[in-house]
Amino acid sequence: MTDVLRRGRASLAFSFFTQGVAFALLVTRIPAVQSRYGVSDALLPAFLAAVPVLAGAGSVATERLVRRVRPSRVLRWSQPVVLLALLGVGAGDRVALLAVALAVFGLAVGALDASMNMLGVSLQRAYGRSIVIGFHAAYSLGGILGASLAWAGAHWHLALWVSYLPVVALLLPAALTGSRWYVDGERSGGEPDHTSERTGQRTGDRPTGIGFRMLLPFCLVMTFAYIGDSTVSNWSAKYLQDVLGGSEQLATVPYNVYMVTTLVGRTVGDAGVRRFGAAAVVRAGAVLAAGGFAVVAAAPGAWLGMLGFTLLGLGLCVLVPQTFAAAGRRAFDQGGAAASDAAVARLNIFNYVGFLVGSPLVGALGGVWSYRGAMLVPMVLVLVTLGYARSFAPWPDRYGVGHERPRTVDVGRGSDGL
C-alpha cells in the first residue's frame, strides 16, 4: 500500500503542476487573446469575470457528482477538458468561439480544482501527516513554467495556438497516463469502498455535519487569501511603475518574485506544519502577508516595494492549502469522507469569490482614494485570519504535532481510525 500512496502522491502532484501551467498560459496571455479576437476593453471584464463564475458553478456540480463518482474519475476527465479548452482559446477566430472555449474552460476548472483538492485532502489523511502544501508547490512550479512559456511566446510573436499546441500535446497524454495512479484515500483499496467504518456513512449519501457555521471561518480565510493573491496578480506591475516609480521592465518583476517565493514557502510548508502545527503556520503566514502589504503601502521606492512582494509570497502561500486541509479534516471528523469532499467543493467556490472581489476592490479604492491606501485593505483582511487560526488546529486524536499516524492507516478496506 505504501507504493500505492507514493504513486498516488506523485501523479496528483503532476496534476497540480499541469493545472499551474495551463492557468498561467491563459491569464498571462490575456492581451494577446484580446487582440486576436478583437475584444473591446469594455467587453473584456465580462469575459474575464465569466471564467471564475462558471468555475464556481463547476465546483458546485462536482460536489453533487462525487456522491456517485469517485473524485479521481472527475479529475481524470476534467483535466484533459481544461487543456483542450485552452487550445480552443488559442485556435479560434471568432468571439463566439472564444466565449464557448472560456465557458468550457471555466466549468472544467471548477471541477478540476475541487476534485484535485479532494484527492489531496484524502491522501493527506492516508499519510497521516501534512503533505497538501506540497501539491500546491507543484502548482506554483507549473505557474512559473507557464508564465515563462507565455513570455517566450510573446517575445517571439508566436500565434496563440503555436504557443499552446506543444504544451497541450505534451501534458495531455502525460496527465491521462498519470491519472491511472490517482488515490482516493480511504476509497483506494482496489475496489471502491463505499463506507466509512468510523461513521457507517455511505459515500454516496447526502453528506452530514458540514453546516455553514462550521465552514464559515475557512470560507472567510479562503476569500481573504485570494483577495490578496489577486491584488498581487492584477496590480503589482502597475503599482511598482506608477506609484513607486519603477521602470517598465522592473514592473514585470514583482509577480515573478511573488511566484518564486510562493514556491519556496510551499516547498517547506509541510515541514513547518509537522514541526509547529497548522495553526502556528497559518498565524505566521498571515503576519508575513500583512507585513508584506504594509511594506508595499509604505515603500518609498521600487526596491523596497519588491521586498514587500517577497514577504507576500512567503505569507499567502500557506493559507489556501491549509484551509482546504483543515476544512476537509473537520468535515471528515463530523461526517466521513463524503462530508470532507463536500466541504472541499463548497470551500473551493470562495477562491473564485476572492478572485472576483480582489481586483475590482483595489482598483476602485485606488481610483477614489489612493493605491497606497488600497493596499491596506487586503492587509487588514489578511490580519483578520489571525482570529480564525484556532480553527486550523486538529482535534487531539488527529494528526499534527506529536500526533502523526502510520502512513497506510486510511488506505483500503478495514482501515482503523476511520
29 and 88, same domain (yes or no)? yes
CA torsion angle 386 229 353 384 (round to 10): 10
Confidence of residue 162 (pLDDT cuts 50, 70, 90): very high
Q: Is residue 36 in some structural domain? A: yes
Question: What average pLDDT does range 252-280 have in this prediction?
Answer: 93
Q: Is residue 197 in some structural domain? A: no
pLDDT of residue 102: 96
Confidence of residue 191 (pLDDT cuts 50, 70, 90): very low
CB neighbour list of residue 15: distance below 8 Å, 6 or more residues apart: 75, 79, 116, 175, 178, 179, 182
282 and 378, same domain (yes or no)? yes
Distance CA 284, CA 222 (A): 16
Is pLDDT of 198 > 70?
no
Q: Is the pTM of this model over 0.75?
A: yes
Percentage of residues in the chain with pLDDT exceeding 90? 69
Supply 418's cell numbers. 476511520
235 and 171, same domain (yes or no)? no
Asked if residue 15 lies in contact with residue 75, where contact means CB atoms within 8 angstroms, the answer is yes
Q: Is 114 helix (H, G, I), strand (E, B) or coil?
A: helix
pLDDT of residue 207: 52
pLDDT top residue among 352 and 45: 352
Q: What share of the chain is helix, strand, coil (3-state, %, to 5)?
A: 80, 0, 20
Report the domain count for the chain. 2
Q: Is residue 410 in some structural domain? A: no
Is pLDDT of 411 > 80?
no
Confidence of residue 228 (pLDDT cuts 50, 70, 90): very high
Question: What average pLDDT does range 171-177 have in this prediction?
Answer: 97
397 and 259, same domain (yes or no)? yes
172 and 296, same domain (yes or no)? no
Confidence of residue 103 (pLDDT cuts 50, 70, 90): very high
Question: What average pLDDT does range 334-352 have in this prediction?
Answer: 93
Dihedrals phi, psi of 117, to nearest 5 degrees: -75, -30
Q: Is residue 416 in some structural domain? A: no
Q: Which domain holds residue 271?
A: 207-401
Any idea what the CATH number is for the domain that residue 13 is in? 1.20.1250.20
28 and 131, same domain (yes or no)? yes
Confidence of residue 367 (pLDDT cuts 50, 70, 90): confident
Q: Is residue 412 in some structural domain? A: no
Among residues 114, 146, 181, the one where a domain terminates is 181
Q: Is residue 186 in some structural domain? A: no
pLDDT of residue 248: 76
314 and 227, same domain (yes or no)? yes
Distance CA 376, CA 378 (A): 6
Is pLDDT of 100 > 70?
yes
pLDDT top residue among 213 and 100: 100
Q: Is residue 359 in some structural domain? A: yes
Is pLDDT of 400 > 60?
no
12 and 135, same domain (yes or no)? yes
pLDDT digits (tens, 9 = 90+) for 285-306: 999 999 999 999 999 999 999 9
142 and 274, same domain (yes or no)? no
241 and 306, same domain (yes or no)? yes
119 and 217, same domain (yes or no)? no
Question: What average pLDDT does range 79-106 have in this prediction?
Answer: 96
Q: Is residue 407 in some structural domain? A: no
Question: What average pLDDT does range 13-31 have in this prediction?
Answer: 92
Averaged pLDDT score across all residues of the chain: 87
301 and 224, same domain (yes or no)? yes
Percentage of residues in the chain with pLDDT exceeding 70? 88
